[in-house]
Amino acid sequence: MKKIIIFPLAAAALFHGAISAQVTDKTADFKVAAGFKLEQIYEVKKEEGSWVALTEDGQGRLIAADQYGGLFRITVPALTGGETKVEALDIPIGGAHGLLWHEGVLYISINERSQKNPVETGVWKARETATGYEKLELVKAIKAGGEHGVHSLVLSPDKKWVYLITGNFAHVPEVTDSFAPKVWAEDQLVLRNPDGNGHAANVWAPGGFIARFQLDGSNWQLVSMGQRNTYDAAFHDSGELFAYDADMEWDFGMPWYRPTRISHIVPGTELGWRNGTGKWPTYYEDSMGPVLNIGPGSPTGMLAGRGFKAPAKYQQALYAFDWTFATIYAVHLTPDGASFKAEKEEFISGAGLPLTDAIIGKDGSMYFATGGRKGKSHLWRVVYTGKESTAPKLAKSTPNSTRDKLAEMIRDPKKFDADLALKQLSSEERTLRFMARIALERSPDAGWIPKISSQKDSWSRILGSMALARLDGKKHRSVALETLLKVDWKTLSQQQQINWLRAAGLVFIRGGEPTAEEKTAVISKIDASYPATDRLVNFELARMLCYLQAPNVVSRTLKLMDEAPATDADEWKTLVDRNSRYGNDINSVIKNHPPTAQIHYIYCLRSVKGPWKGDERRRVFNWFREIESRSGGNSYGKFIAMIRKQIYENGTPEEQKLFAAEVQAPAQKPKALPPVKGPGRAWTVEEIKKVTSEGLTNRNLENGKAMFEASLCATCHKFGAEGGAQGPDLTNLSGRFKIEDLAHSIVDPSQVISDQYEFTEIVKHDGSSITGRVLNEKDEILILGVNPFDFTNQLEISRSDIKSTAPSKVSPMPSAMINRLNADELKDLFAYLLGVK
């Protein structure tokens, strides 16, 4: 039975507390694409919260959602001028991350728990009447919460479906069908390590997902999976869906790091997110690769340009909104076979634009909101003022009949065509190969399974074996492996060799450990190729041969480590792009960048049991000195410490005795804190605003850096290439914070606590309680970091002793960190953090 909340129509009819504001031209304050004007049309009041979602009703009025509070209706000014009118909307609901108005119905995705939250998180709807909204109805309850829960709502091009976009902390609800075959698993060939800081350590496949439902709330279908924290998606003019997924910035500098990306979401898409070190490389063909890597950032909104009164290329673009780097990217797509090529353009960017959501209004303007995490929020409008034609012009339609047929087969197995699916396994296009395999897995009883072993093409054998392993690894183990062993390894392309290894790995992951005969057969087929001339083939050969305990794999891997470049061209591009944005000295950053190739090889070598030969283990431990001297994301040091410990533990008792001193990284001598002149005071937000009111230009940034260290900020926070890992990276604060926002975060850190950094309050059956961050779980034992300045200070708690757990409402960051500073020292600190020259 659906839950319905009837609230008095008289109350529903009211839109109270109307507030108006004038339009301000802000084009000169930001980098704006030529020919466009950027207007700030409203400064959101404190009592209206921080806006993270937008939609537009049938009369061209906007509706906005406060991340932690209620809903608001906005009457926007005419393009010729006027005032913005904002009214609180009397719908008893709050904590929305996504809004969609369609044909008189307001769909609302509720993610945050608040006083206005009507019990369940999930999708709700309210029907519009002549006087307001009434009959709030629960469409689907979904367990969620935090910043990785249920997010945006997107209407399909045919206006028959609503797509729900979620992050990896949202639980998949009961669905009537799943386009992604329900055979998902973690699929790790070698031991996976959890995140060093404990983030998402107990979150498993399918991870973040996209689901769709019909307008009446029925027929829920799972469309895609394996996402990390996709916040929004958009339909291109072609009718194809694209999503903007997040990275895990704590992984930066590690071989499993994946930047933010734009992905083509075909039915049944798997994007390969797994927790900790387990993220699948994008070259694995049991997942879909990106059409565009954006780089580090925090994806929020995504928008199609249809209806934008702008030149054709901007109407046909998709727009990706990055909260961290305060950038709107125009993504220009070009058909490329069954998928697309993409290029990005910085459409709008600049300090102080923590971007959240956007729409194209009925007046042809782009409207977007800034805010989030209770930060200062504004509403903006983008208008084209150039001379080019703005006549409506959709992108040229380029249907792909094969892709469309495969999509129909995936959505409806009754339309399955075995001959077409088997033929497309050997397609030259990765998208078609992926969709063909998914179509096969959706129809396991359609008679295609016996045909896999007789396929002649290498791709058909590789992907057919992959499908057999995924469907039932134990049942199809021998056929899948025999089919792979019949493939001529030497004739395979780079991508085929990589995925031959992946398919063989899936046979062992899903079907069980290889027998001695199987080990010998696989080793004899691939061993002579290691090391190969290709970097990525070497990565996967190392993974497989270490797993199989191949003879001399350690010596060959060590030789490869000594000779291999630390990073490839793509990594260098990401590195340079990331740090040029930060304004860092790129030479210093490159010098400190971790050797990701060598880390990958050591990660594989953990699997090789002792005894090792000669000085091999010594050479590995020597590499740790180099690796530990470099700087990566927030989890970098803890990941390296885990790998070091596992290398030690896989040694024989004799080797462990010999290398006992190497199990721990060398103790770091505490750095002396810079002196503070003072005298300090108990700083408040108002006092900070007062002393910084004249601006922060021409401050002493070197002293600002010293105050960053003196106030212990650097103990937990990274800025540039230096700092700790327990708290958020503060390097690019200027993109989303202004002075007042930063002051609130420092003075009252418990006001907003990201779920990436919150502590957990654990109440035990004996009545005692403990607060800390859950770093790992092993054999029903929770490992808890209890000192926010040093997570090596740990406690272990048995699950059987725990009565309840809940997110702590108190930030691990103390609230008086800056109270030793005088006014000049505080201004230097703020100028340093906000990048003011």
Residue 251 near residue 635 (C-beta atoms within 8 A): yes
The confidence score (pLDDT) of residue 632 equals 84
Q: Which residue has the higher pLDDT, 811 or 295?
A: 295
Q: What is the pLDDT of residue 12?
A: 42
- Is pLDDT larger for residue 101 or for residue 823? 101
- 8 Å CB contact between 266 and 238: no
* E strands in 28-104: 31-32, 36-43, 51-56, 62-66, 71-75, 83-89, 96-102
Of the pLDDT bands very low, low, confident and very high (cuts 50, 70, 90), residue 1 is very low
For the cut 80, the answer to whether the pLDDT of residue 570 exceeds it is no
Does the pLDDT at position 13 exceed 50?
no
Q: Which of 434-448, 652-666, 679-693, 707-721 has the lowest mean pLDDT?
A: 707-721
Q: Is 43 exposed, middle or buried (0-12, 13-18, 19+ CB in 10 A)?
A: middle
Q: For the ranges 12-21, 104-113, 348-357, which has the lowest average pLDDT?
A: 12-21
**pLDDT for the residue 566:** 63
pLDDT for 421 beyond 50: yes
Spatial separation of the C-alpha atoms in residues 69 and 49, rounded to whole Å: 7
Confidence (pLDDT) at 709: 83
Most confident of 128-132, 510-514, 683-687: 510-514
Residue 104 CA to residue 107 CA, distance in Å, equals 10
* Statement: residue 11 has pLDDT above 60: no
Selected residue with higher pLDDT from 89 and 733 = 89
Using only C-alpha atoms, the chain has a radius of gyration, in whole angstroms, of 27
Q: Are residues 213 and 140 in contact, defined by beta-carbon separation less than 8 angstroms? A: yes
How many angstroms separate the CA atoms of 769 and 797, rounded? Answer: 11
The residue-averaged pLDDT of 518-535 equals: 97
Q: What is the pLDDT of residue 370?
A: 96
Question: What pLDDT is attached to residue 152?
Answer: 98
Per the prediction, the chain carries an average pLDDT of 89
Q: How many CB atoms lie within 10 A of CB 130?
A: 5
**In this model, does residue 708 exceed pLDDT 70?**
yes
* pLDDT one-digit tens code per residue, 276-286: 999 999 999 99
**pLDDT (0 to 100) of residue 10:** 38
- Give the mean model confidence (pLDDT) for residues 445-465: 96
More confident residue, 231 or 664: 231
The sheet carrying 51-56 orders its strands as 15-22, 83-89, 71-75, 62-66, 51-56
Query: What residue has token string 């990525």?
Result: 536
Beta strand spans in 142-216 (E): 150-155, 161-166, 177-178, 208-214
CA distance 730 to 727: 9
Per-residue confidence (pLDDT) for residue 811, from 0 to 100 = 74
Closest CA to 589 of 630, 627, 628: 630
With a pLDDT cut of 90, the percent of the chain lying above it is: 63
pLDDT band at 43 (very low <50, low <70, confident <90, very high): very high
Quick one: pLDDT at residue 9?
Answer: 42
Structure tokens of 446? 């359609």
Q: What per-residue confidence (pLDDT) applies to 291?
A: 97
Q: According to the model, what pLDDT value does residue 347 have?
A: 98
Instruction: Note the pTM of the prediction, 2 decimals.
Output: 0.86
**Beta strand residue intervals within 363-431, DSSP E:** 366-370, 378-384
Lowest mean pLDDT among 242-256, 328-342, 441-455, 737-751: 737-751
CB atoms within 10 A of CB 799: 11
Residue 695: count of CB within 10 angstroms of its CB:
11
Q: Is there a contact between 567 and 596 (Cβ–Cβ < 8 Å)?
A: yes
Judged by DSSP in three states, 53 sits in: strand
User: If you write DSSP's letter for every residue of 539-571 in order, what string do you get?
Assistant: HHHHHHHHHTT-TTHHHHHHHHHHHS-SS-HHH
Structure tokens at 363: 């007046």
Q: Confidence band (pLDDT; 50, 70, 90) for 438?
A: very high
